[in-house]
A and B are shown apart, each in its own frame.
Chain A
Amino acid sequence: MMRTIEVLIVIIIITGAFIAASFFAVLPWPRQVSPLNLRRLAFTTLQMLDSNYDLSRAAFETENYTIWGGLQIALSASLPPNIIYNLTVYEVTGETTQLYTFIDSMSNAESLGITSDASSYIVASSNVTFNVVPEKIGEHGGGGGTLYILNCSDANSWWITGYTAHSLAQDLYNLLSPYFHETVMVQSTNQLAQILDGTALQGETLQSAVVINTCGEAVPIPSGYYSSSGVGYDPARNSYARYSYVLGQRVLEYNWTWVSIVGYPLYYVSNTGLFPTYQNDWGIYGMRAVEAAGLNAFLRGLDNLTYSYDSSWLTGSPSGVVYLSNEAVDSSNYYGVYPSPYQTSTRALPTSIISAYNLNVTTYVFNTVGNLIPAAVYRHTVTTGGTTHYQGAFYAIGLTRTPDIRLTALGLLADYRPRLYRSEYTANGTSRLVVLQLGLVGGV
């Protein structure tokens, strides 16, 4: 009998233990097991409302009842009915011990229910300006500092579909002129002849300049000397490929960087006065085709080889799209120039030209695909007295029309790497902190 009593006592003890364990082992509520992530929802709501800067505007115009009310309507309309909110705007001061000063708030409930969470978001005033001073190219050695933009009114363009050479020149001026000592618009083929002769147009430094041809696959050709037989014109082949050869020579002589913004470089020559009755087979008058011989002649001129007519096709088409190189992406972020990271290339130059013409790629703007280089800066190497240095350069963007002129700017900036001196951002009253607190009501 005694054993039975002992067992009963044990059972009572275990029952007590079970009851005690059950009492303390409180299972969570369903909403705690599977909570709605209110913090992320609040953050994404703030981001969505600020996607067109409406939230930023409202945070700085809390006295404007139309804008402030519009924000409240948008907030109420975007959140599910079982979610309540409290949105508070603080001024970021930083001058005193109190970092944040309350400005205003809005809410659709007195309390925030059983569960709540919050996210914060910094908005900047539209009046904020950031001062950035760029370093001028050539400022710390290396020469140069002049940017020539070919904006010849007496030359036509090809493969810049949708743009004009003038509009591209203007965009390039806006993008690149802060980085150069002098930016000179070459307004006519006569002025182009002048700089080819080695004469500055406005007292600028001609040596080591950058020359951007905004006419796409066409290149302006001056009438007179540079289009004469034996100089720019090859009578044996009835071709102006010889002009491209002279251009290559000048690029070498003056240590220029020649930029072709789209398509097959130097495929046509253009001068509306010189070729009034010629067209490029697509109805653009004032233009004559040089075809592949132009680029071959240019590269021979750049490498100081003797002129010979070579019409062999150089470029190829990488399959699919081509992607910006890591170097170019870094430069995109550094200079704030954001072209699309992938493009179509049908005029990519082959890697074989590097060894054939003593070139060295200093900047790959797009990743190489097989033996094709969609866009890169090639610098010509010269060895004098046992020392090797660069003289003359060629930036070829072998993409398909329509050109994105930002790629031209990006490639040059990635190659020259001018520094940006950013002013410190210490202005008061230019930032506000928006805190959105969300709460759940109803349910368990």
Chain B
Amino acid sequence: MVSSTVDHMIAVTVFLAATLLFIGLFNQTIQTAVIYQRHRATATKASDLLDNMLLSPGLPVNWGQTDANITGFGLQDPEFTQYKLSPYSLMRLRSSVGEPVYYNATEQWYSNVTIGDRNFMLVPYNLALEYSAVTRLLGINNSYGFQLTLTPIVTVSIQETSASPLTLKVTASGVGFPLSGATISYCFLKVGTHGNDPYYDISFDTVTADDTGSKSITISNVAADDSYAFIAYVREGGLVGVGYRERTKDQNKYVIPFIDSFDEGLVLLAHSYDVHFFGAPVPAVFYNATFVLLTEDFTLREMPIDTTSDHIVYGHGSDKTYENVTIPTHNPGILVVTYKAQGANQDGVVLMPWGLSSLAFPVTFGGDPSQQEWVATDMRHVTVGGIAYQAQIALWSLEGYQVVG
């Protein structure tokens, strides 16, 4: 009788222990499968969300060209179909990587995309769409986070191989593959001065790259200390890319363009000391602005704009803290501002894209995926103002942390 009871006790104990163990084992397998399913759903959502953003122009359809608030989010160019994005809608995305800039004169923060020393795209926060607002418009707030990255496919690098005579080596490549035999259309803008007033000489030409995707271009009548800007558009078999280079003589005194209104094409030109607070007051900066368009045959053309030259001072005195320039078109192009510091032999040039693609600026918009447990990615090839870009999305779930293994 006793042995039977002991037998039962041992059997029940062993059975319960084994049951608990197997429940744990099966549960782990099931849990792993559920997590895989959730990840699969996130990956599908990433693909769908990317298409949603790229294949809809948003509401109102021309929101990128206006200062209007939006009621629907989308990046498609309203004048086209399929994967052609609006270069202006992309400008209105608040950059998540650039350090924002505060400008005292307007008392506003600006979303900052700055490439190199003198190429700016500064959009006021009240016009730049915020990430959280976009997640609400997309209907994914509190359920998913995302980061959208648009990077140009073609990289055009420009090196100065000789200062006098000025020789520039233009090299174009895709993702690790040179664009051999590519057509290069370029615009060369040399800065000159009459007293304090800067002016520019502009020239255009088209050349062909060699088998390595490179071409050395010699520009005559440019001294070793002349300031200049060089902008090159490269195309090959349907791929189009942009590159640029400037040489400037000054260190800190220059012009910074701030976009003020997309509706009116209004750009504020500010003194760099007013923005970066370099120190004690410095001379005024005189400027001369022009606008360069990319035509449909991929050549560059200068477009005159009104009230293009004046001067700006540092500080908030009675003189001009900033000046306005109005860009009279919603065709993508480049605002080129040549400048000279008053009384000093310091001049240079700054560039601002009007339409993100004009200078092939990249955009990173959204949250930070680096701290997320699991991120799904997907990509598409798109064109923005005729320039080839790769659009990539990173998407993660905000509904708890789940880890496999």
A residues near B (Cβ < 8 Å) are: 1-4, 6-8, 10-11, 14-15, 18, 21-22, 25, 27-28, 33-37, 40-41, 44-45, 47-52, 54-55, 58, 66-67, 69-81, 320-321, 338, 340-342
Residue in B15, B235, B238 whose CB lies within 8 Å of A55: B238
| Chain A: CB-nearest residue to B14 | A7
Contacts of B66 in A (CB 8 A): 320-321
Q: Are A4 and B236 in contact (CB under 8 A)?
A: no
A25 to B26, alpha carbons, bound, how many Å?
11
Kindly state the separation between the CA atoms of A443 and B203 in the bound complex, as whole angstroms: 49
Residues of B within 8 A of A15 (CB): 22
Interface string of B200-239 (1 = CB under 8 A from A): 0000000000000000000000000000000000011111
B78 within 8 Å of A by Cβ? Answer: yes
Complex: chain A residue closest to B19, CB-CB: A14
CB-CB under 8 A for A78 and B174, given A41-B381, A73-B180, A342-B62 = yes
How far apart sit A74 and B153, CA to CA, in the bound complex (Å)? 10
The answer to whether B22 and A14 have CB atoms under 8 Å apart is yes
B29 sits at the interface (CB 8 A): yes
> 7 other contacts beyond A1-B3, A7-B11, with CB at 8 A cut-off?
A3-B11, A4-B14, A48-B238, A49-B237, A74-B237, A77-B239, A78-B153
A-B contact pairs, 6 of them (CB 8 A): A4-B14, A8-B14, A22-B29, A34-B377, A36-B377, A47-B82
Interface assignment of B97: CB less than 8 Å from any CB of chain A: no
Within 8 A of A (CB), among B355-392: 376-383, 386, 388, 390
- Contact status A3-B175, CB under 8 Å: no
- Give the complex CA separation of A73 and B172 in angstroms: 12
Chain B residues with CB below 8 A from A36, complex form: 377-379
**Distance, CA A80 to CA B46, complexed state (A):** 19
The total of interchain contacts (Cβ-Cβ below 8 angstroms) comes to 153
B1-23 interface with A by 8 A CB criterion? 3, 7-8, 10-11, 14-15, 18, 22
Q: Which residues of chain B come closer than 8 Å to A78, judged between CB atoms?
A: 153, 174-175, 239, 381, 388, 390
Structural contact, A58 and B40, CB atoms closer than 8 A:
no
B239: chain A residues within 8 A (beta carbon) = 48-49, 74, 77-78
Report A-chain residues with C-beta under 8 Å of the C-beta of B382.
44, 48
| B113-156 CB contacts (< 8 Å) to partner A | 153-154
Q: Could you say which of A40, A55, A81 has the most chain B C-beta atoms within 10 Å of its C-beta?
A: A40
Residues of B contacting A25 in the complex (Cβ-Cβ under 8 angstroms): 29, 33
By DSSP majority rule, is chain B's interface helix, strand, loop, or mixed?
mixed
A28, A37, A44, A52: which contacts B83 (Cβ < 8 A)? A44
Assess whether B325 is interfacial by the CB under 8 Å rule: no
Complex Cα–Cα for A341 and B57 (A):
13
Contact yes or no, B238 A27, CB < 8 A: no
Chain B interface residues (CB < 8 Å from chain A): 3, 7-8, 10-11, 14-15, 18, 22, 25-26, 29, 32-33, 36, 39-40, 42-43, 46-47, 51, 60-62, 66, 68, 78-79, 82-84, 153-154, 173-182, 235-240, 376-383, 386, 388, 390
Which chain B residues border A58 with CB–CB below 8 Å?
A: 237
Inside 8 A of A77's CB, which chain B residues have their CB? 153-154, 173-175, 177-179, 236, 239
Complex alpha-carbon distance, A246 and B40, angstroms: 74
A56 to B395 CA separation, bound complex (whole angstroms): 35
In the complex, A80→B378 CA distance in Å? 13
Query: Cα distance A8–B12 when bound, in Å?
Result: 11
Partner pick for A11 among B18, B68, B386, CB 8 A cutoff: B18
Which residues of chain A come closer than 8 Å to B84, judged between CB atoms?
51
Instruction: Write out the residue numbers on chain A whose beta carbons fall within 8 Å of the beta carbon of B79.
Output: 338, 340
Question: What chain A residues lie within 8 Å of B181 (beta carbons)?
Answer: 66, 69-70, 73
A76→B379 contact, CB < 8 A: no
B304 to chain A, nearest CB (A): 12
| CA of A264 to CA of B260, assembled, Å | 31
A41 touching B379 in the complex, CB below 8 Å, given contacts A3-B8, A4-B11, A7-B15: yes
Expressed in whole angstroms, the Cα–Cα distance for A26 and B43 within the complex equals: 20
Using CB atoms, name the residue of chain A closest to B54.
A44
Interface centre among B68, B174, B239 (most CB of A within 10 A): B239
- The CA of A216 and the CA of B173, in the complex, are separated in Å by 50
Q: Are the C-beta atoms of A70 and B237 separated by less than 8 Å? A: yes
- Bound CA–CA A4/B239 (angstroms): 75
Query: Contact between B388 and A48 (Cβ–Cβ < 8 Å)?
Result: yes
Instruction: Name the CB-closest residue of B to A14.
Output: B22
Q: How far is the CB of B110 from chain A (nearest CB, A)?
A: 25
- Residues from chain A with a CB closer than 8 A to the CB of B386 are 51-52
Complexed CA–CA distance, A395 and B133 (Å): 43
State how many angstroms separate the Cβ of A6 from the closest Cβ of chain B: 7
Question: Which residue in chain A gives the minimum CB-CB distance to B38?
Answer: A33
Q: A27-B32, A55-B238 are in contact. Are A4 and B180 (CB under 8 A)?
A: no
The answer to whether B378 touches A73 (Cβ under 8 A) is no
- Provided the pairs A51-B386, A70-B237 are in contact, do residues A40 and B174 lie with their beta carbons within 8 angstroms? no
Which residue in A45, A49, A341 is a CB contact (below 8 Å) of B78?
A341
Smallest CB separation, B72 vs chain A (Å)? 15
Minimum CB–CB distance from A18 to chain B (whole Å) comes to: 6
B46 surroundings in chain A (CB, below 8 A): 34
Determine the distance from Cα of A51 to Cα of B80 in the docked complex, in whole angstroms: 11
A11 touches B14 (CB 8 A): yes
Please measure, in the bound complex, the distance between the C-alpha atom of A77 and the C-alpha atom of B175, giving whole angstroms.
Answer: 5
Contact of A73 among B3, B18, B42, B237 (CB under 8 A): B237
Cα distance A10–B273 in the bound complex, in angstroms: 82
| CB atoms of B378 and A47 under 8 A apart | no
| Inter-subunit contact B40/A50 (CB<8 Å) | no
A165 → chain B, closest Cβ, in Å?
Answer: 22
| B93 smallest CB distance to A (angstroms) | 20
B238 in contact with A71 (CB, 8 Å): yes
Chain B residues within 8 Å of A67, by CB: 237
| Contacting residues, chain A, for B83 (C-beta < 8 A) | 44, 47-48
